[in-house]
Structure 1
Amino acid sequence: MTPQARLSQVFTLPNGIQIKNRLVKSAMSEALGTRERAPTPELAHLYGAWADGGIGLCVTGNVMIDRRALGEPGNVVIEDDRDLPALKAWAEAGTRHGTQCWVQLNHPGKQAPKGLNKETVSPSAVPFRPDMAAFFSTPRELTESEILDLIGRYGRAAGVVKQAGFSGVQIHGAHGYLVSQFLSPHHNRRTDQWGGNAENRRRFVIEALRAMRAAVGPQFPIGIKLNSADFQRGGFTEDESLDVIRALEAEGIDLVEISGGTYEAPAMTGVKDKKAAPAKDSTRQREAYFLAFAEKARQAVKVPLVVTGGFRSAAGMAEAIESGAVDFVGLARSLALEPDLPRRLLAGQDPVHTVKPIKTGIGFIDKMGLMEVTWYTGQLKRIGQGEAPKPGEMALWVFLKFIAKQAGLGRGKKSPTRLRAS
C-alpha cells in the first residue's frame, strides 16, 4: 500500500464515528479570543482553512473552563452558553467537508504566567524550579470543594461544545497543566482521596471524564492528550501513564493522543536535555518523538492512539500506522506553515517546509522554548486574518515585536508574559 493510500484510509472509532483519514491536527495555541473570552471570526477562518486543507480530525487550541484561570492572553473560555453564536460559527467552519473538529478543554493550574490571573491553583503548593520562579508564582493548594467544582466545569463545557455543533471534545491531560499536575507525584503531594497513590492521583481525570460523558452521552467522542512521561525527577512515569490509559479505556475514552513534557521539561517541542543520551539511529529514522511509548501502549490497550511530534514525511507517517503502534499521526507546527498540507500528503507529496527549532539567539529565551509558542501563534493569526504564513520570518524580529507589544499594553495596565504550549 502506498503512503497516500495508507493515510487516506477511513477509521471508525469504537463508538461508530468515522474519521475520513488518518491525519490529525493537534492542538496549538491560537490566542485569538476576544477580551470577553469569546471566539473571534479569525478562529472560524483559521479552522475553515484547515478543514479545506483536507485534515481528518482537527483539535482546537486549548479552551479554558474557568475565567479565573487563563493560560495566556487571548484564551477562549467556555463556562456556559453565553457565546454560543460565535462557537457555532467556529464549529460550522471547522467541520466543513466532513472534518471532525474537537474542542480541547483545559485548566492551566499552576502553569499560568505571573500577572495573568488573580492567583494560580494546583493540587499542591509546589513552586517552579528557581530559574522559572520569575515567570510563575507558587500556586495555592486546591480545596476539595474547588476540585469538585472544576470537575463540574469540565462537564458543563463539554455539553456546550456539543450544543455548538463541534463533533467531539478532548481533555488536555499533558504538558504540565492541571490534569497533568494531578497525575504527577511531583506536583501532587496530597494525602486525601485526590493524591498519594497512583489510583488517587488519577481520580481527578476519571471524574472529569465521567462528568463530560454524562453531559454529552455515549456517542459523542471524548479524547485525551496524555503525557507518556513528564521527564522530570519524581514526576509522572511511563508505567503510570500506561495504567492511566488502561483506566481511561475502561471508562470508555474514545481516542488517546500521546505526548510528553512540561514547561520545565518541554519534550513536546523536540527540545532535548543536553545530559540525555543521544537517540538511536532507528529512533531518529522513525521520525516521531513518542512512537516507542505508543508501541508499549498498543500492547496494553485497544483504544485508538495518536502520536504527535517529529513527523517529516508521508512515508514516515504511513510507516507509523503500518507498524500497528498508532492509528493516526498528529501534525501541528507544519500546519501553521502549510494549512493545506494534508491535501499534499494524501496526494503522495511531502511537506514543502521543514519544521525547525525557533531560535532568537537569546539563551534563556531559547532554552525555555518561548518562541516555539510566540512565533507559531503569529503564523496562526496570519492565517486567521486571511493572509499567507511566513515560514522564513526571523525569530528575533518576532520576539522584539512581542516585547514592544507587551510594553505598550503595560502602559495601560500590568501585562503578563505569554508562555503557552498546547
Structure 2
Amino acid sequence: MKLFSPFEIKSIKISNRIVRSATYEKMADEDGFVTDKLIKLYVNLAKGGVGLIITGNVLVHISGRSAPKMICLHNDFYIEGLKKLTDAVHNEGGKIVIQLSHGGRQCASIFLHGRQPLAPSAVYEPVYKVTPKEMTQEEIWEIVESFGKAARRAKEAGFDGVQIHGAHGYLVNQFLSPYTNRRNDYWGGDEERRFHFLEEVYNSIRENVGYDYPVMIKLNASDFIEGGLTLEESLRIAKRLENLGIDAIEVSGGIVESKPDERPVRPKIDSKEKEAYFREFSKEFKKTIKVPIMLVGGIRSRSTAEDILDKNEADLISLSRSLIREPDLPKKWEKGKDTADCIYCNGCMRFMKLEHVKCTQLEKKR
C-alpha cells in the first residue's frame, strides 16, 4: 500500500504518507507558552502513526493573533518550551513541522487588545466585523522579518521544518489575493507584485535557516470568493515558489467569508463523493510542478486516500478533523479500518465555546 510507504521532504524521512494538517488546538497557556496538555496531544499523534505532524497556526508577530491560547514564537522566550515539545515527539519516532502564521484582517480586535487588525488594504471583513488598517511599508517589512526570526527560533527548538500559512484568508493569502490586496505599489497592483510579500517572507526565512532546512507552504488553490485568487493564478504562484526552492506545497482553499460549502472545513462529509473536495486542484498542481504535494480537505477513508496516491494526484494525504476524533487513525487504517469515525459536524471548530479544541461528539457519548 502506497499510503504506508516512506517518503522524504528534503531532510525529513517520513515513515508513511499521512500528514496531520495544521489544526488550531487552543492548548497553549494565555501567553502562548507550551503546556503539558499540548505536548500530550502531539505525543498521541506520533504514537498514533502520523508520518508528519504540522502544528496548529503559530504566532510570528503580536499584531497577528487570530485566536486565544495560540502557540507563540515571536520571542526567544518560547524556544525552551517548544524544545520540550519537539523532544517528546522525536522520542516517539515522530516528525514535526511548525506552521508560521499571521492573521491579518482575520483577527478580532479582542485578540489584539482593542487594536485595529493589519492587512494589505482596508477591505472590510464581514465575519470578524472589522475594517483593517492598511499596512505601512515599515509594518510590512517588520512582519516579513518576524517570519524569518520565527523560523530561526523553530529550528533552534528542534522542529524538522517550517510551513508558511499562505491559505485560508490569513495575511500571506491576503497579499496574494486580488480580493484583499488593492494596493498599487511594490506589494500589489498586479499578479507579480502581489507575490512580493510571500517572496520576501520566504527569503527572510531562508536567510535565517539556510537552504538545507525544509520550508513548506499551505496554499489556497482558490479563494472561492468573487474577485479572489483563482486556480490559474495559484498554479503560477506554485511555479514561482518551486523556482525559489520551496520543499512542499499543501493544497487547500477558501477563506472565512466564503460560502459554508466552499470554506476550508466543509461540513457533513458523509459520502465518498464528498471526500477530498480539493482533489481536482491537487491533480492540476501535480501536472504543473515537481514539488511534493500534500492534499487536505475531508479525506475520510483509507480507500480514498490510497486511490489519490495510486493515481498520482498527490504525494501525501493531510488529515485534520478526523485526527481530533481519532489521533490513532493511521494505525487503525494500517490494521484494515477504512472509514474514520469523524462525522464532520464541525463542533470541534467552534473554538470560542470550547475549553480546548476537541471532538464534541465524543463528549456527548460520555
TM (norm. structure 1) is 0.81
Instruction: Please tell me the residue identity of whatever aligns with 1:247.
Output: R
CA–CA distance in 2 between the matches of 1:179 and 1:219? 23
Equivalent residue, structure 2, for 1:327: 315
Three-state SS of the structure 2 residue aligned to 1:98 is coil
Output one character per residue of 1:119-143: Cα deviation in whole Å (capped at 9) or x when no partner. 20100001024xx3xx331000001
Q: Which of 114, 118, 121 is matched with 2:118 structurally?
A: 121
Instruction: Please tell me the residue identity of whatever aligns with 1:303.
Output: V
CA–CA distance in 1 between the matches of 2:340 and 2:100? 32
Equivalent residue, structure 1, for 2:225: 232
Q: Does 2:300 match 1:312?
A: yes
Larger Rg over CA atoms: 1
Q: Does 2:94 match 1:99?
A: yes
Q: Does 2:187 match 1:194?
A: yes
Output one character per residue of 1:92-116: Cα deviation in whole Å (capped at 9) or x when no partner. 1233333220000100000012322
Do the aligned residues in 2 keep the contact of 1:46 with 1:380 (CA within 8 Å)? no
Do the aligned residues in 2 keep the contact of 1:258 with 1:305 (CA within 8 Å)? yes
Three-state SS of the structure 2 residue aligned to 1:199 is helix
Equivalent residue, structure 2, for 1:10: 6
Equivalent residue, structure 2, for 1:407: none
Deviation at 1:17, TM superposition (A): 2.9
CA–CA distance in 2 between the matches of 1:142 and 1:378? 33
Structure 1's unaligned 5+ residue stretches are 273-278, 360-370, 382-388, 396-422
Instruction: Please tell me the residue identity of whatever aligns with 1:231.
Output: F
Equivalent residue, structure 2, for 1:109: 104
Equivalent residue, structure 1, for 2:266: 270
Do the aligned residues in 1 keep the contact of 2:64 with 2:101 (CA within 8 Å)? no
Three-state SS of the structure 1 residue aligned to 2:92 is helix
Identity %: 37
Q: Which of 275, 278, 283 is matched with 1:295 structurally?
A: 283
CA–CA distance in 1 between the matches of 2:37 and 2:83? 14
Q: Which of 43, 49, 63 is matched with 1:48 structurally?
A: 43
Three-state SS of the structure 2 residue aligned to 1:88 is helix
Alignment of 1:15-414 (within 5 A): 15-117=10-112, 118-129=115-126, 132=127, 135-265=128-258, 267-271=263-267, 285=273, 287-358=275-346, 372-374=349-351, 380=357, 391-393=361-363
Three-state SS of the structure 1 residue aligned to 2:5 is coil
CA–CA distance in 1 between the matches of 2:346 and 2:267? 11
Do the aligned residues in 2 keep the contact of 1:122 with 1:142 (CA within 8 Å)? yes
Equivalent residue, structure 2, for 1:416: none
Q: Relative to 1, partners in 2 of residues 1:198 and 1:295: Cα closer, same or farther, differing over 3 Å?
A: same
Q: Number of residues paired by the alignment?
A: 359
TM (norm. structure 2) is 0.93
Structure 2's unaligned 5+ residue stretches are none
RMSD: 2.2
CA–CA distance in 1 between the matches of 2:140 and 2:356? 36
Three-state SS of the structure 1 residue aligned to 2:219 is strand
Q: Relative to 1, partners in 2 of residues 1:348 and 1:126: Cα closer, same or farther, differing over 3 Å?
A: same
Do the aligned residues in 2 keep the contact of 1:353 with 1:391 (CA within 8 Å)? no
Select the structure with the greater relative contact order (CA < 8 A; seq sep ≥ 6). 1
Deviation at 1:309, TM superposition (A): 1.4
Q: Relative to 1, partners in 2 of residues 1:151 and 1:313: Cα closer, same or farther, differing over 3 Å?
A: same
Instruction: Please tell me the residue identity of whatever aligns with 1:308.
Output: V
CA–CA distance in 1 between the matches of 2:364 and 2:353? 12
CA–CA distance in 2 between the matches of 1:188 and 1:68? 18
Instruction: Please tell me the residue identity of whatever aligns with 1:328.
Output: L
CA–CA distance in 1 between the matches of 2:353 and 2:42? 15
